[in-house]
Structure 1
Amino acid sequence: MGFFNWIRVEATGYAGGIWLMWNEKDCTVTYISSNEQILHCQIRDKHSSKTFFGSFVYGETNRRKRQTLWQSIKTIAKATEEARILLGDFNAYRAPRDKRGGAKPHITSMSDFNECITDSGLLELEDTGNKFTWERGEIQEKLDWVFGNIAWDIKFPTSRIYYDLKYKSDHKVIVLSLYSQEKQTTSTTAVPLPSRLGSREWF
């Protein structure tokens, strides 16, 4: 993949683990904390010298087990006032429209997810393309999400999300551009966020 630095949260049971990879020429990454469903780090973009916190998620498929993830997100939010981004495969929907085909989404599961995002002071980042990030057969779902806090919006007002083609996975790749040229007139370099490998990749 061309990355030479990494941090990995080992797989546990059916949880596929989280693998964060980056190159030192682009950024520095400082590990802060992790559990089976989330990896929390501080990241410094060397192109702009801006620092932010990144939380990378691989949520459990079981609704009850995801309660640990929701609590972790809230705990990090209370301790982090600086710019922060939260992204990954949450294995959860926010609304019935986030699933097409198959069984109906679980109402309590959606409520738990939305309550966590609201309580953590997070906003969903603008994205482009087909909203469904996972598909198998006739079923399409939005399971991958990207959120930022108010401080993120202030520090990176032109950041933008793209859901790219699938790569060796049934999930689409999440591409985060910190400095989207579509939102501004001055040209800047889009710096890719470090990737998480395993069941899918983030760039």
Structure 2
Amino acid sequence: MDAQHPKEPNTRIQNMESLAHLKTGHYEADNFANPSTTKASGKCTMSTMDSETHEASSASAGIQGVLTTLESSVEDNLNLTGWNFFSNVSTKTPCRILVGWNTATYNLPNFHQSPQWVTCDAYSITTKTTTHISFIYGHNKPPNRQPLWEYIVISSRLFNIHPWILMGDFNAVMDPDHRSGGDMRWLGHHDDFPKACHHAQLAALPYTGMKFSWNNGQQGRGNIQRKLDWVLENN
């Protein structure tokens, strides 16, 4: 499976003063269930959504995850007929995760939610296979991401029969090469994400497109870029 990065950073919101703090990421997954293997296959796509209409870049994917700090619902504006939706809005988090799926191609009977993730069991009606999918929205403060890393390690022991895909904004880098500009020190908390992936036996998928998925919007020497968005799979 390959992952495609956003063509533009998540900070690219223009002409929307009322939505100045909006951060919306759009994640798609489809054709990932291969009945002949426990490995996931297919394509996952990460992109931004239109800042004014909140329309997804494509309705072709069978499952979509939307990460947004917008408090009002974006569900109606997605304009996806025949889709069902689930979100972690009941966790009272400002970082909302909205999951939608095409009911003609997938059943999602089980969900586990928290302020930083929504995990579902995606059953493909076509291939009769199940894939675990976790949509991630990591907290921006390292101490508050600890529950996320613990969840990933614990879940890896439970999700060892079916493929498991994790995708979203982890708000963390994997190694020093995934940073440009700003504070380049490698502190203790920077090891939390790669250590969790190691213990959970997760691998980052190969990707095409931009290396860095976030920037601070500044130019020249003040520019800071980071690779915070990831698609991972279990081994």
What's the TM-score, normalizing by structure 1? 0.68
- Which residue number corresponds to residue 180 of structure 2? 100
Q: How many residues align?
A: 149
Asked if the contact 1:74–1:120 (Cα under 8 Å) also holds between the matched residues in 2, the reply is: yes
- Which residue number corresponds to residue 199 of structure 1? none
- Which residue number corresponds to residue 109 of structure 1? 189
Measured after TM superposition, the shift of residue 62 of structure 1 is 0.6
- Which residue number corresponds to residue 143 of structure 1? 228
Where does the alignment leave 5 or more consecutive residues of structure 1 unmatched?
151-203
Measured after TM superposition, the shift of residue 21 of structure 1 is 1.1
- Which residue number corresponds to residue 134 of structure 1? 214
Whole-angstrom distance in 1 between the partners of 2:123 and 2:87: 19
Whole-angstrom distance in 2 between the partners of 1:39 and 1:105: 31
Measured after TM superposition, the shift of residue 140 of structure 1 is 1.7
Asked if the contact 1:83–1:148 (Cα under 8 Å) also holds between the matched residues in 2, the reply is: yes
Matched AA of 2:108 = V
* Mapping of residues 1-203 of structure 1, within 5 Å: 1-3=78-80, 4-10=83-89, 12=92, 15-81=94-160, 82-104=162-184, 106-135=186-215, 136-137=217-218, 138-150=223-235
Name the structure, 1 or 2, with higher relative contact order (CA <8 Å, separation 6+): 2
Measured after TM superposition, the shift of residue 121 of structure 1 is 1.2
Q: Secondary structure at the match of 2:143?
A: coil
Whole-angstrom distance in 1 between the partners of 2:159 and 2:131: 10
Measured after TM superposition, the shift of residue 123 of structure 1 is 0.8
Q: Secondary structure at the match of 1:64?
A: helix
Find runs of 4+ consecutive structure 1 residues off by over 3 angstroms: none
Root-mean-square deviation over aligned CA pairs:
1.7
Whole-angstrom distance in 1 between the partners of 2:125 and 2:79: 18
CA gap of 1:131–1:149, structure 2 versus 1, over 3 A, is same
For the pair shown, the structure with the greater C-alpha radius of gyration is 2
Asked if the contact 1:87–1:146 (Cα under 8 Å) also holds between the matched residues in 2, the reply is: yes
What is the identity percentage for the equivalent residue pairs of Structure 1 and Structure 2? 29
Whole-angstrom distance in 2 between the partners of 1:31 and 1:51: 11
CA gap of 1:21–1:122, structure 2 versus 1, over 3 A, is same
- Which residue number corresponds to residue 158 of structure 1? none
CA gap of 1:106–1:19, structure 2 versus 1, over 3 A, is farther
Where does the alignment leave 5 or more consecutive residues of structure 2 unmatched?
1-77
Whole-angstrom distance in 1 between the partners of 2:194 and 2:143: 15
Whole-angstrom distance in 2 between the partners of 1:65 and 1:24: 34
Measured after TM superposition, the shift of residue 122 of structure 1 is 0.7
